[in-house]
Amino acid sequence: MSLQSGGCIKYDLKAWNDNLHHALCGVSNRQTLANFAKLAARVPERPEPPFLVASTLLVPGYIDQQEVSAIARFIAGLNPDIPYRLLAFHPQFYLSDLPFTSLDHAGRCLQAAKQAGLTRVSLGNKMLLGNAY
């Protein structure tokens, strides 16, 4: 339906490391990654507007540039033109004891995603960035 309507699927890739994904989400990421790969195979059917957009929340102490680099390499291996949005973290609910994502952390992750070969990387929620670490 998204292909036909001009809509997009925003896909949240929380973590590359399966143990970390399990700690954050309570489940493995294997099916998540397999489903993303299936959708990525259809991207050439409608490159603009983007049919599939990936995102990752930059959770301090959990999702660092190594995690982002691994996720970005995975995406780039499927199609380097899939848009990838890195999102600043806001402390709330179970993770209310963590700081906001720092500007430095976000910059390192943005650079890691670009170095992994993605052509359309951006940073969202910039107004949430802090300087705590």
CB count within 10 Å of CB 83 equals 19
> In the predicted model, what is the mean pLDDT of residues 111-126?
97
Q: What pLDDT shows up at residue 4?
A: 87
The CATH superfamily of 2-128 is Aldolase class I (3.20.20.70)
Q: What pLDDT shows up at residue 132?
A: 75
The answer, yes or no, to whether residue 100 has pLDDT greater than 80, is yes
**For residues 131 and 38, which has the higher predicted lDDT (pLDDT)?**
38
Asked if 58 and 86 touch (Cβ cutoff 8 Å), the reply is: yes
- Listed by start position, the domains of the chain span 2-128
pTM for the full model? Answer: 0.94
Structure tokens, 9: 């699927």
What region, left, alpha or beta, does residue 58 occupy, with left being phi > 0 and alpha being psi -120 to 50 degrees?
Answer: beta
CB count within 10 Å of CB 85 equals 18
The answer, yes or no, to whether residue 131 has pLDDT greater than 90, is no
Mean pLDDT of the chain: 95
Asked if 69 and 58 touch (Cβ cutoff 8 Å), the reply is: no
